[in-house]
Chain A
Amino acid sequence: MKSLRAIALILIILLCGLFIYVAEDIPVFGDPEAPPIKSVKLFTMEVDQVVSLLDQHIVPEKLSGELVKRGFPPPSHIEKIPGIDGEWNAFIEKEEPHYAKEEKYYWIRKEGDKLRISRYAFVVRWIEKGLKETAVPNMVTYGLADYRGYDTLGETTVIFTAGVSVILLLRRRSRL
């Protein structure tokens, strides 16, 4: 009985230490500069004549080729949307899935002598790169257990706490 209590105390201390470590290790919430929040860089390419074509609102062959080579859908036309970052925005003509506003565009920006092609991060990560990154075909599962692993650990802790509370309230055995 005594040794059981000592083991339980050690395990509780270990669990508390683990949770303190986890709380220290969680990424900063709400950081606007955090890469997964704002946009994800797909690739960079040489400028060449691409810029002049982009200014004339023509989709360059080279840009479409680079995108298709990496498994992304090619854009249909070039425009500039005021609310979205980037000098040019390339519209993605894709029926499924029905993206909202920002996810429909590639964001093209000139950085020195390179063109930086980026995209709204969250949907690209989740829908189009999840299978490649985790080798799990179920979108819900890799979201639940991998991308949102901290969240699920908290959920399991909530269930554990509920069970412990019921034990403390109902299993008194004429003590207390």
Chain B
Amino acid sequence: MKEERRERNVVVETVARVMIPFVQLFALYVIIHGAGGPGGGFQGGVVFASAFILHVIAFNLIGGRARFPESVNTVFSSLGLYVYGGIGLLATIFSLGAAQYLNYGFIPFTSHFEENRALGMDFVEMGIGITVMAITASIFFDLAKKDGNGKEEEEEGSRSWNGSSQKSWQNTTTGSSSSS
């Protein structure tokens, strides 16, 4: 049983190591490309979160949590909403209250009204992407955790092949969870 898992882990680890940067790059492409073609914040955010999920499946839960700590995750999940709301509020501020909330044309990115609307849309899509990515990762990490008593373990991750590294991960995770 243990031998089989090791054999599988080598292949999955190697493929994941190669794939994860490309998955993340593709997610950023989908978010940025949302104005010109198919794509957008929701899709790109989910693709980006799937990179974290792939990392957790290939390695283990504690290592994935160490890459994307709980405190950073919580901050990101509300940051996107603040970007969205802030862009909308900027329109009202720059037009001195004349324009409606979320009327991006009045934010002076460029000198053209229409270009401002396109750029405002891009920033809004980025905000959506950040929130969707953080929330999807947060839900996944919370559901994958077995018990909530600070002792984070997973049915496969607990039987890790490297006991010392698991101990160090536990130290980092308990430190991050107490700070949040």
Contacts and interface: CB of A to CB of B under 8 A. Distances in A.
A166 B74 CA distance: 12
For the complex of A and B, list the 4 residue pairs with the smallest distance between their C-beta atoms, beginning with the closest. Answer: A163-B135, A135-B114, A149-B102, A145-B121
Interface residues of A, number: 38
Contact of B121 (A141, A160, A163): A141
Contacts of B117: 133-136, 142, 146
Given A150-B102, A166-B142, A173-B177, 14 more contacts: A15-B82, A22-B85, A25-B101, A134-B114, A136-B121, A141-B40, A144-B40, A149-B124, A153-B88, A156-B131, A159-B132, A163-B139, A167-B138, A170-B142
B148 A171 contact: yes
A167 B142 contact: yes
B175 interface: no
Nearest to A27: B100
Main SS at interface, chain B: helix
A173 to B, nearest CB: 6
Contacts of A144: 40
Interface string B95-110: 0000011101000000
A34 interface: no
Contacts of B177: 173
A136 B115 CA distance: 8
Main SS at interface, chain A: helix
Contacts of B35: 136-138, 141
B170 interface: no
Interface string A12-26: 000100100110010
Contact of A138 (B34, B77, B85, B143): B34
Interface of B: 34-38, 40, 74, 77-78, 80-82, 84-85, 88-89, 100-102, 104, 112, 114-115, 117-118, 120-121, 124-125, 127-128, 131-132, 134-135, 138-139, 142-143, 145, 148-150, 177
A132 interface: yes
B88 A149 contact: yes
A153 B80 CA distance: 11
Interface of A: 11, 15, 18, 21-22, 25, 27, 132-138, 140-142, 144-146, 149-150, 152-153, 156-157, 159-160, 162-164, 166-167, 170-174
Contacts of B121: 134, 136, 141-142, 145-146
Given A134-B114, A156-B128, A18 B102 contact: no
A35 B88 CA distance: 22
